[in-house]
Amino acid sequence: MTSNLPTIPSDDGWDAAAAENAERVIKGTLLKFADWNWTKGKDTELEKGISFAALSTAAGWVKWWEGKPIQYKMREPGRSLPDREELGDLDQSEWEVGPNGELKDPWQNTRFVYLVDPKTAEAYTFATATWGGRQAVNDLAEQIQRMRYGRPGAVPLVELDAAPMQTKFGRKSKPFFKVVEWVGGEQPAIDQPDAPALAPAAAPGEASPFATEHEAKLPFDDEIPF
């Protein structure tokens, strides 16, 4: 049966096409989080318990105008994000008015998480410009780093969950990436007693000790205007 399949050429064009798409900031279907719920695309609720492979993350400033992203300033490898003052648009009289009636900075400090369905290879992107969202990304990053001390290259399968968060406005929610399995990577040798012990994952709702003073002043509402 397989002998009748055509021979696949060494350069069939798919790699080049994928490389073109890799330059896009948003890859595949956009994921959103708000009010304890995850949705995809045009507000289609995600299936409970579904898990994705968390392949990579990126950080950048996104400029918004009339409800749409019009410019990206992504963090370059090995460098920090530029300071907000370096981006321009500092005249607040030219800013748009946000939903709360206050002037809104057009540049939003944003994190992107690139996920893949392990069964279908469908791509997804979660983008967040909130303090709680960035904290969730940082918590997952720390957990990945700890695992890779003993298992280099391991990739987490994460369930998209939610966690409580106390704010000055009361009890709110934030996204939480619950690691359910690790795939790939180099398995540690049995005779390595000195391998660093893995610290437990951050509990849902636990404040991150790595939040910066700038991030602590950012709004706590995890809904973003995608």
Domain parsing of the chain, residue ranges: 25-186+195-216
**Tens of pLDDT along the chain (226 residues)?**
445 655 666 678 878 777 776 678 899 999 999 988 999 988 899 888 889 999 999 999 999 999 899 999 999 988 999 999 999 999 999 999 988 888 999 999 999 999 999 999 999 999 999 999 999 999 999 999 999 999 999 999 999 999 988 777 778 899 999 999 999 877 765 555 554 554 555 555 555 444 444 443 444 345 444 4
Q: What span, in angstroms and rounded, lies between the C-alpha atoms of 12 and 114?
A: 25
Whole-prediction pTM value? Answer: 0.74
Burial 40-58 (b: 16+ CB within 10 A, else e): beeeeebeeeebbbbeebb
